[in-house]
A and B are shown apart, each in its own frame.
Chain A
Amino acid sequence: MTVTDSVRSALEVDKVESHLHPQGSFDVASHVVPTGREEIWRFTPLKRLKGLHADAEFQPSATACTWNTPAGVRVEGVDGDEARALRGVSGLVPNTRFAARVLAEVPSTLLVDVPDDADVTEPVVVELAGSDAGVTEAGHVVLRFGRHSRATVVLNHTGHASMAQVVEVVVGDGAQASVISLQDWADDAVHLTHHQTLVGRDATYKHVAVSFGGDVVRMDTNVTYDGPGGSAELLGLYFADAGQHIEHRLFADHDAPRTKSNVMYKGALQGQGAHTVWVGNVLIRKVAEGIETYEENRNLVLSDGCQADSVPNLEIETGEIEGAGHASATARFDDEQLFYLRARGIDDKEARRLVVHGFFNDLIRRIGVPSIEGQLMSTVEAELAKNVLRDV
């Protein structure tokens, strides 16, 4: 046991009772099947999850998985002992039945391993292309960034699938890691996923969630720290169309001093029954002195019949913090913005287009991968064509 480990276990004495982070367990039997009345499930349409939250069989995958391997990086499907050793490598102790089942039942793990000190400029892009939403399946992914390494990993989800997934990320001390997860699914996809990250001492972590497609997408994004000085930037961009449910739940667990978290999620909704959920949980434990946290969620409602839920939660166990804050806003088009643009000759549609692009632009610019930034601009444009720019 290293010194860090012993400090860590000593800190575990400092338990915090809260519904936001129930005690986890690897034992599947200890997790009852959710009914929808639980705090962490109350927004999710369980009936549309095809049993992934309960006991749907994890069938052989119908999703093709391909990737590139930039020099020096290992990307490989592993199984047996090596896969077992990777379960919980991020410090994840499942707090949901599906996550516990994924760790217990999925025989293999997709591992992206970036060695210590490696500086990888080309992003590792893992393509997950689903072919059949009638097949319920599950996947375990581990992204390991070595000490002082610098790399970007993109998970691109497309096509038809019903997938339960756990993504574990380990960011070594001093590393600079970016993980970008694109949910660009077809309309019938169901995606229940948990991203758990352990941010090393003085490491910098950027996580970007981009959710456009799918019938139901729910992503739980949790971050804990493996030492002081770690920094996490959690960005998200989503666009829900008629009937879509897109849910992002974040949890920044400040369990080390002088750590930082910065959450910025922006979403747009259009069409009857479009529903988005953003829950941003931040816990500042007693030990986490001198931390800084800020979380923000903004939603732009583009048509009638949509619902955007936005719930920031901040629990503070110590008064010795640098800064903590949150903001949440859900609004329609701002008439004054549209008037200003139109008073310069710009017609109504073009003005709305500018406002929506502007709404997402600042966030897109922060992603830091030019090819993805360009792709997202076009995706926003394509989404706008469905409603805002459509000739009525």
Chain B
Amino acid sequence: MSKLEITDLQVSVETEDGPKQILKGVTLTINDGETHAIMGPNGSGKSTLAYSIAGHPKYTITGGTVTLDGQDVLAMSVDERARAGLFLAMQYPVEVPGVSVSNFLRTAKTAIDGEAPKLRTWVKDVNAALEQLNLDPTFGTRNVNEGFSGGEKKRHEIAQLELLNPQVAILDETDSGLDIDALKVVSEGVNRFRSQEGKGVLLITHYTRILRYITPDFVHVFVDGRIAEQGGPELADQLEAEGYDKYTKAASV
């Protein structure tokens, strides 16, 4: 059971010309087991929403609340948010030189669970997760994200999603830059995750094609730092046919 509730969230970033407001009051509730897609043009603030929820220090919360099952997420440190059950699959995963994937995964799992995983089952779980995402068994010995192809980075993010198994997953443009095969593999991973009881997904994307593989319960159109329209999966088809023009024009008036 998990419920992520975002209420009137306002976020700004420091720029050379002073603080600039990016999110202008976002309200969104992801109930138990729901998958929400957020779609919008570049620069609309989609990624800011993802990183703000995860607690990136670059973003300043100027108003609103975020709660996970009633707990105040904004009062938590970055790692506390992850331990509370939030997961962010990043658009640009960061290289960590000298730290192997297997060491990283074990350290993260230990942190999330509060105890070291049982060695035998853990090795089996890691190998299975890597294999399902078409990652080579030697992948574990490589340094985190170092020299990974774009596709490998995204598949590695989803392997982490499956192994850490959070309550709510935020996927920030996980589909961008993937070829069709990789997109299928990644989507299957996300679907395995959300087939479990009560898992929430916030899927942020620029394109509709991933929604052919991951069917959302709700679609939100995100323009200029707020939600401009919401609906069911059919809204994605409409966006596919018509694009974002009518929303961006409305926002600029």
Say yes or no: is B236 at the interface (Cβ < 8 Å to chain A): no
Interface assignment of A324: CB less than 8 Å from any CB of chain B:
no
Are B79 and A342 closer than 8 Å at their CB atoms?
A: yes
Contacts of B81 in A (CB 8 A): 343
1/0 contact string of B17-29 vs chain A (CB within 8 Å): 0000000000000
Q: Supply 19 A–B pairs (Cβ within 8 Å), ascending by A.
A: A337-B94, A340-B96, A341-B96, A343-B81, A343-B82, A343-B87, A344-B82, A345-B83, A345-B108, A345-B111, A346-B79, A347-B77, A350-B111, A354-B96, A354-B103, A355-B96, A358-B97, A359-B98, A361-B98
**Count of A-B residue pairs with CB < 8 Å:** 79
B55, B103, B108: the one within 8 Å of A344 (CB): B108
Alpha-carbon separation in the docked complex, A377 to B98 (Å): 13
B178 at the interface (CB under 8 A from A): no
Question: Given A357-B99, A358-B99, are A348 and B93 neighbors across the interface (CB < 8 Å)?
Answer: no
Pair B107/A350 contact, Cβ less than 8 Å: yes
A sample of 9 more A-B contacts (CB under 8 A), given A344-B82, A354-B103, is A334-B94, A343-B87, A343-B90, A344-B79, A344-B111, A348-B77, A354-B104, A355-B96, A355-B99
Please determine whether B79 and A345 come into contact, CB atoms closer than 8 angstroms.
yes
Nearest B residue (CB) for A335: B57
Min Cβ gap B103→A in Å is 8
Asked whether, in the complex, the Cβ of A345 is within 8 Å of the Cβ of B112, the reply is yes
The 8 Å CB contact of B94, one of A336, A345, A347, A359, is A336
A139–B96 Cα gap in the complex (Å)? 42
Q: Are A339 and B78 in contact (CB under 8 A)?
A: yes
Contacting A at CB under 8 A, from B93-119, are: 93-99, 103-104, 107-108, 111-112
B108 in contact with A360 (CB, 8 Å): no
- A335 vs B57: C-alpha distance in the bound complex, in angstroms? 9
Which of A336, A341, A362 makes the CB contact (< 8 A) with B98?
Answer: A362
Tell me, in angstroms, the Cα distance from A354 to B143 when the chains sit together.
12
Cα-based distance from A344 to B56 in the complex (angstroms): 13
B164 within 8 A of A: yes
The answer to whether B57 touches A339, judged by C-beta atoms less than 8 angstroms apart, is yes
Contact call B82/A342, Cβ cutoff below 8 A = yes
From A339, A340, A343, residue with most partner B Cβ within 10 Å: A343
- Taking each of B81, B90, B94, which has the highest tally of chain A beta carbons within 10 Å of its own beta carbon? B94
Q: Give the CA-CA distance A346 to B111 in the complex, in Å.
A: 5
Per-residue contact bits, chain B 125-146, to A (CB 8 Å; 1 contact, 0 not): 0000000000000000001000
Chain A residues with CB under 8 Å of B95's CB are 337
What are the residues of chain B within 8 A of A354 when measuring CB–CB?
96, 99, 103-104, 107
Instruction: Report Cα–Cα, A214/B88, bound state, in Å.
Output: 45
Given A354-B96, A361-B99, answer yes or no on A343-B57 (Cβ-Cβ < 8 Å).
Answer: no
Q: Which residues of B contact A343 (CB under 8 A)?
A: 54-55, 78-79, 81-82, 87-88, 90
Which has the most chain A C-beta neighbours within 10 Å: B79, B81, B82, B90?
B79
Q: Which residues of B contact A346 (CB under 8 A)?
A: 79, 107-108, 111
B82 and A358 contact, CB distance less than 8 A: no
Is the C-beta of B12 less than 8 angstroms from some C-beta in chain A? no
Contacts of A359 in B (CB 8 A): 97-98
Residue pair A344, B143 in contact (C-beta under 8 Å): no
The residues in B between 31 and 55 inclusive whose CB is less than 8 angstroms from any CB of A are 54-55
Q: Which 6 pairs across A and B sit closest by C-beta, in order of nearness?
A: A358-B98, A361-B98, A345-B82, A344-B108, A358-B99, A345-B111
Residue contact A342 to B96, C-beta cutoff 8 Å: no
Q: How far is the CB of A154 from chain B (nearest CB, A)?
A: 23
Q: Are B164 and A345 in contact (CB under 8 A)?
A: yes
Q: Which B residues from 45 to 92 make CB contacts under 8 A with A? A: 54-57, 77-79, 81-83, 87-88, 90
For B164, list chain A residues within 8 Å (CB). 344-345
- Report whether A344 and B94 are in contact in the complex, using a CB–CB cutoff of 8 Å: no
Closest residue to B56 on the A side, CB-wise? A339
Is B10 part of the binding interface, using a Cβ–Cβ cutoff of 8 Å?
Answer: no
Chain A: minimal CB distance from B12 (Å): 18
A68 to chain B, nearest CB (A): 32
Whether the Cβ atoms of A342 and B78 lie closer than 8 Å is yes
A210, chain B: closest CB distance, angstroms: 17
Chain B residues within 8 Å of A340, by CB: 90, 93-94, 96
Within 8 A of B (CB), among A77-123: none
Would you call B98 and A357 a contact (CB within 8 A)?
Answer: yes
B160: interface (CB < 8 Å)? yes
Q: Which residues in A have their C-beta under 8 angstroms from that of B143?
A: 358, 362
* 8 Å CB interface, A308-358 against B: 334-337, 339-348, 350-351, 354-355, 357-358
Shortest A44–chain B CB gap in Å is: 30
What is the CA–CA distance of A350 and B103 in the complex, to the nearest angstrom?
Answer: 12
Selected contact of B96 from candidates A335, A337, A348, A360, CB within 8 Å:
A337
Cα-based distance from A337 to B104 in the complex (angstroms): 12
Q: Please report the C-alpha to C-alpha distance between residue A344 and residue B55 in the assembled complex, in whole angstroms.
A: 12
> With A and B bound together, what is the CA distance between A348 and B82 in angstroms?
12
Q: In the assembly, what is the distance between CA of A338 and CA of B221, in Å?
A: 32
Bound-state CA distance A343–B77 (Å) is 9
> Who on chain A is nearest to B143 by CB?
A358
A351 to B103, CA, bound (A): 12
Which of B93, B104, B111 contacts A347, CB < 8 Å? B111
Are A358 and B107 closer than 8 Å at their CB atoms? no
Complex Cα spacing A339 to B164, Å: 17
Docked complex Cα distance between A115 and B104 (Å): 45
Note all chain B residues with C-beta closer than 8 A to A361. Answer: 98-99
A362 / chain B contacts, CB cutoff of 8 Å: 97-98, 143
* Smallest CB separation, A235 vs chain B (Å): 14
A3: min CB distance to chain B, Å? 46
